[in-house]
Amino acid sequence: MGSNSDEDVPQPTVESPLLSNKHECNDELETLLSDTHLPFVQRYSKATWIEMKLMFYIAAPAVFVYMMNFLMTMFTQIFSGHLGNLELAASSLGNNGIQIFAYGLMLGMGSAVETLCGQAYGGEKYDMLGIYLQRSAILLTLTGFVLTIIYIFCKPILIFLGESKEIASAAEVFVYGLIPQIFAYAINFPIQKFLQAQSIVFPSAYISAGTLVIHVVLSWVVAYKMGLGLLGVALVLSLSWWILVLGQFVYMIKGQKCKETWRGFSAKALSGLPGFFKLSVASAVMLCLETWYFQILVLLAGLLDHPQLALDSLSICTTISELVFMISIGFNAAASVRVSNELGSRHPKSAAFSVVVVTIVAFIISIFCTVIVLVLRNVISYAFTKGPGVATAVSDLCPLLALTLLLNGIQPVLSGVAVGCGWQAFVAYLNIGCYYIVGVPLGALLGFYFKLGVKGIWLGMIGGTCMQTIILIWVTFRTDWNKEVEESVKRLNKWEDK
């Protein structure tokens, strides 16, 4: 533990030029939006230019970071697929059926840091950011030990859920290699949200790019030169995540940009853990319900006739969807940071304007990606496997994939707005209703009762996503941003005392 002298004796702080410039830019945007003397077109064209700079400064490297992180998993799946169709199905089930469970839980709990750090940074309470990070890392590490039990007993769990013994046995080997990854998540997500809240994303992008190169080389060596199969490629994926964590941690403690927000380890991080845990659970429930939604799609597909073909074709489509989804997640991060920073800075007009700009930009990009997928629908599967039967099945699913990509241009961004505002509990209830009361039952009805197979399951679940998106658009449109500023101030005062 570091010394607590800085906490016991108030120390004068000098705000760094970097922090000062960011706040000046935010103040300029709020002033411009409030200036009714300027012509409408001039006011909003200037405001859009300022917001685009602020947004892309976060979104562009954030998209790159999430893309690099996802590509590590995708390359692992590609190497598994070239080992054989059984290995592809096993890695798909391991990633989408088990690993994503931990990913959703850890990422969800980490979003508590995203809300608090973003608003604290906007409110210039810099010393609290490091405390929030440490509290989150402690809670996520403890959660990791619980998740390890699920990983150890993944085979009987998968068989109980109706998966074939052959695929479940192969998936078990793969999942065992992912156990170290759980604890990398526990450290990575708090650090990632800590840096994002300060608009520090480029260093993470460089670290992620370097890690991806190492990951691909090691995966090739382990899979083809050492012949370690599924266990080997899974262990390499876990190692790569730890390299990513180490790089970001070193930057955080050594980089000049974090000197105001990271002041070393503190015993203060051990206080208020029960209350912080409650906030983390609310955040986790919201994001877990979203992350696990398409996990259920994969699990249901495993119950169909010819499950290996269904899983192979669906895994390729979901992998493509998740790849494009990384772009939306980058804008999700930008929306969360921009909204939370502006609320913490008491800028209601800037917060509302940020929501409009980031949503429009993300949707335009999703349209572009949709067109590319539809054009390449007949050949896109060959990047994953050589099977012509799988290629035909993937081509048949591409219209549903295209519809999913369009929805993903809006829904994740609005979820980012919810995190920035601290609406996690509300969105959790919304997700239960739209996803699990409407989407999953409708998908099961279309897929099994009406014999539409994978297409029916997917179409029903798209219905749930569409309902949730429409409600989020309506709620965001009706938001009183002045009231959200007041709630932000109350939240920061509450957590600063703990």
Residue 11 in any domain: the answer is no
Position 1 in a domain: no
Query: Does the pLDDT at position 442 exceed 80?
Result: yes
State the pLDDT at residue 24.
57
> Which residue segment(s) compose the domain that 134 sits in?
17-496
Asked if residue 228 is part of any domain, the answer here is yes
Please check the confidence at residue 103 and state whether its pLDDT lies above 90: no
Check residue 6 and give its pLDDT.
41
Q: Does residue 187 register a pLDDT over 70?
A: yes
pLDDT at residue 496 in the model: 63
Of 30-34, 163-167, 321-325, 383-387, which one has max mean pLDDT?
Answer: 30-34
Q: Write out pLDDT tens, residues 38-84.
A: 888 888 899 999 999 989 999 889 889 888 887 888 888 888 877 77
Q: In the predicted model, is pLDDT for residue 134 greater than 80?
A: yes
- Is pLDDT above 80 for 290? no
Reported as a pLDDT band with limits 50, 70 and 90, residue 23 is low
Q: Which amino acid is at 199?
A: S
More confident residue, 21 or 310: 310
Q: Determine the pLDDT at residue 2.
A: 41
Q: Does 141 or 85 have the greater pLDDT score?
A: 141
Supply the pLDDT for residue 25: 62
At residue 439 the predicted structure's pLDDT band, cuts being 50, 70 and 90, is very high
Residue 10 has pLDDT above 60, yes or no: no
- Look at residue 328 in the predicted model and tell me its pLDDT: 86
Indicate the range of 16-25, 127-136, 177-186, 412-421 predicted with least confidence.
16-25
Q: Is residue 195 part of a domain?
A: yes
Crossing angle of the two packed helices 85-93 and 307-344, in degrees rounded to 10: 40
Q: Report yes or no on 12 lying in a domain.
A: no
Phi and psi torsions of 44, nearest 5°: -80, -25
- pLDDT in the model for residue 451: 85
Section 236-248 average pLDDT? 95
- Give the pLDDT band of residue 13 (cuts 50, 70, 90): very low
In total, how many domains does the chain have? 1
In percent, the amount of the chain with pLDDT more than 90 equals 36
- pLDDT averaged over every residue in the chain: 85
Residue 8 lies in a domain: no
| Least confident span in 157-161, 270-274, 371-375 | 270-274
184 lies in some domain: yes
3-state SS string for the chain: CCCCHHHHCCCCCCCCHHHHHHHHHHHHHHHHHHCCCCCHHHHHHHHHHHHHHHHHHHHHHHHHHHHHHHHHHHHHHHHHHHHCHHHHHHHHHHHHHHHHHHHHHHHHHHHHHHHHHHHHHHCCCCHHHHHHHHHHHHHHHHHHHHHHHHHHCHHHHHHHCCCCHHHHHHHHHHHHCCHHHHHHHHHHHHHHHHHHHCCCCHHHHHHHHHHHHHHHHHHHHHHHHCCCHHHHHHHHHHHHHHHHHHHHHHHHHHCHHHCCCCCCCCHHHHCCHHHHHHHHHHHHHHHHHHHCHHHHHHHHHCCCCCHHHHHHHHHHHHHHHHHHHHHHHHHHHHHHHHHHHHHHCCCHHHHHHHHHHHHHHHHHHHHHHHHHHHHCCCCHHHHCCCCHHHHHHHHHHHHHHHHHHHHCCCHHHHHHHHHHHCCHHHHHHHHHHHHHHHHHHHHHHHHHHCCCHHHHHHHHHHHHHHHHHHHHHHHHHCCCHHHHHHHHHHHHHHHHCC
Angle at the Cα of 109 from the Cα atoms of 104 and 111, rounded to 5 degrees: 95
pLDDT tens per residue, range 335-384: 999 999 999 989 999 999 999 999 999 999 999 999 999 999 888 888 77
Residue 344, domain member (yes or no):
yes
Query: Which residue would you say has higher pLDDT here, 78 or 14?
Result: 78
At residue 1, the pLDDT reads 39
Is pLDDT at 158 greater than 70 in this prediction? yes
Output the pLDDT for position 170.
85
Q: Is pTM, for the whole model, over 0.75?
A: yes
Q: Specify the pLDDT at position 7.
A: 39
The predicted structure's pLDDT at residue 303: 75
pLDDT, residue 392, reads 87
